[in-house]
Amino acid sequence: MNDIKNNTYYNLFIRQKENQFKIGKRTYNQRVKTLNALQRAIEYTYRNEIREALFKDLGKPKVETELSEVYQILGDIKYAKKHLRRWMRKQKVNTPISMLGSSSYYIYEPKGVCLIISPWNFPFNLTFGPLVSAIAAGNTVIIKPSEMTPHSSALMAKIIKDVFNDDEVALVEGEAEVSTELLKLPFNHIFFTGSPNVGKIVMTAAAKNLSSVTLELGGKSPTIVDKTSSIDKAAKKIVWGKFLNAGQICVSPDYVLIDESLKEDFIYACLKWLNQFFSENPKQSASYGRIVTTKHFERLKSYIDNAKTLDATIESGGEIHKESNYIAPTIISNLKEEAALLQEEIFGPIMPIVTYKTLDEAIAYINSKERPLALYIYSKSSSNIKEVMQNTRSGGTCINNNIIHYANHNLPFGGTNNSGIGKSHGFFGFKAFSNERAVIKQHTFGVTELLFPPYTGLKEKLAKFTIKWF
Ligand code: NAD
């Protein structure tokens, strides 16, 4: 402890540490009361301010804010309130005959003092979502949101201050250095949402204190469109999923892998849907967002420039407007494999089209890259779907759709290896912030006592008997 006493957040951390058992003891009704206070703040008190902050930070259309931020958080809270009583219950399990005279159960107890580090693309949802799980599980929490969305972060700080005492939940704003300082503290759990590169930094820091981690990361999520799929329906859903939040979504379809015979028809259908969703001039459309910062705008522009240098075909879009961080919905084909668009996670409104000749080729292509957070398949063939499912790995999958698996609270959400470690949402989020404490209670004389030393011949026979029969 001595070496962390000079840490900027030491006093805050210690106050939460001292308060953890009081918070952890809270009953179902008390935890629901806390969740209700957060719900009121988001549903009523701060709803308009949330819309304004997101518009300032991301140009986010009001409907998108309602659906992808407010609705999601309220959904998380309502789901937790509905199921929390059951989650908090003692979980009874069988006890082997060899332990006759005792009974067994486990409980989900709070991990303790937790750290949540969140990204900018859905600032409220990806901060308050994990927070709901953490407080439902009975923890104290320090939050560090992203510096990229300053209006949202400042508003979240205000909400947290309004709803919680800081020895229960506190939010500290700032750049990466703030996370670095916080990560030196011996948190009982760290829940990080962000890029795989920073995920590695977080896990390295956590290892020093053996803090457990949930890493919600990203990467390139492929979308397969096979020969049997309905092209128009697939294009409609893919265009929606890809250009929602201007492509700045961790489960956004990163690139499309399509049977080569369907490429032209698919692009034609995409153009039709782009036009219907965002008009001929998406820059004027109130339904289309902006890139979060100049840095990310420049990154995405460099991907388009790089593709042009490599003689790729811009099928649509490509227009940019630096002053407003606008990048038109862009579709690019004929990319060489070394193109940045096929190597880096795009996280923006650019959709590469990659063709394949056989499904095996498409599967091999996916497996040549890191394991994705999501993998999408558009197909009417159950054998093709089975083939893809059995020969790939991903955090989640939608069949004949994209993104929506995120919104089902009954499903675990998270990645695998490079796209993440651990799961969140609903019960899985509650579990991430809980320690499963195993308990055996001895009621009467236990038969295990018959095996205590000294190990006489009789004990040896008893041991052999136990191994054989119990
Ligand atoms: P990021 O990794 O750059 O930043 C995330 C958070 O980490 C921010 O709060 C930031 O301040 C902090 N951070 C940055 N550098 C750090 C460092 N060196 N040490 C400690 N903390 C540091 O990610 P981002 O740009 O905010 O978000 C985009 C990434 O997040 C994409 O890869 C995307 O796929 C992923 N993402 C994943 C999910 C998910 O649920 N799996 C959701 C949204 C975004």
Give pLDDT tens digits for 195-253.
999 999 999 999 999 999 999 999 999 999 999 999 999 999 999 999 999 999 999 99
pLDDT at 309 over 80: yes
Non-local (6+) Cβ contacts of 377 within 8 A are: 223, 224, 226, 384, 385, 388, 389, 397, 398, 399, 400
Reported as a single tens digit per residue, the pLDDT across 76-130 is 999 999 999 999 999 999 999 889 899 999 999 999 999 999 999 999 999 999 9
Same domain, yes or no: 233 and 111: no
Question: CA 54, 215, 389 angle in degrees (round to 5)?
Answer: 100
Whether 113 and 30 map to the same domain: the answer is: yes
pLDDT given for residue 3 in this prediction: 83
- Residue 2: pLDDT band with limits 50, 70, 90: low
Selecting among 216, 315, 345, 387, the annotated active-site residue is 216
- For residue 90, being part of any structural domain is answered with yes
d(CA 24, CA 115) in angstroms, rounded, equals 16
Residue 332 in any domain: the answer is: yes
Catalytic residue from among 114, 168, 250, 270? 250
Average pLDDT, the chain: 96
Tens of pLDDT, residues 378-434 = 999 999 999 999 999 999 999 999 999 999 999 999 999 999 999 999 999 999 999
366 belongs to a structural domain: yes
Ligand 1 pocket, mutate which of 68, 179, 185, 293 (most atoms under 8 A from CB) = 179
- pLDDT at residue 468, as a whole number: 86
In a domain, 445, yes or no: no
pTM of the model: 0.96
Whole-number percent of the chain with pLDDT over 90:
92
216 has catalytic annotation: yes
Residue 1's pLDDT is what?
64
Amino acid at 391: N
Q: What is the CATH number of the domain that holds 363?
A: 3.40.309.10
Please say whether the beta carbons of 153 and 58 come within 8 A. Answer: no
- pLDDT band at residue 469, thresholds of 50, 70 and 90? confident
Mean of the pLDDT values across residues 245-268? 97
User: Does residue 414 belong to any structural domain of this protein?
Assistant: no
The pLDDT confidence band at residue 447, using thresholds 50, 70 and 90, is confident
> Ligand 1 pocket, 329 CB below 6 A?
no
Q: How many structural domains compose the chain?
A: 2
Report the relative pairing of strands 189-193 and 113-117 from DSSP bridges.
parallel
Whether residues 135 and 173 share a domain: the answer is yes
Range of the domain at 236: 222-407
Q: Which two tokens stand for residue 342?
A: 């096929």
Q: What is the mean pLDDT of the segment spanning 448-463?
A: 87
DSSP 357: S
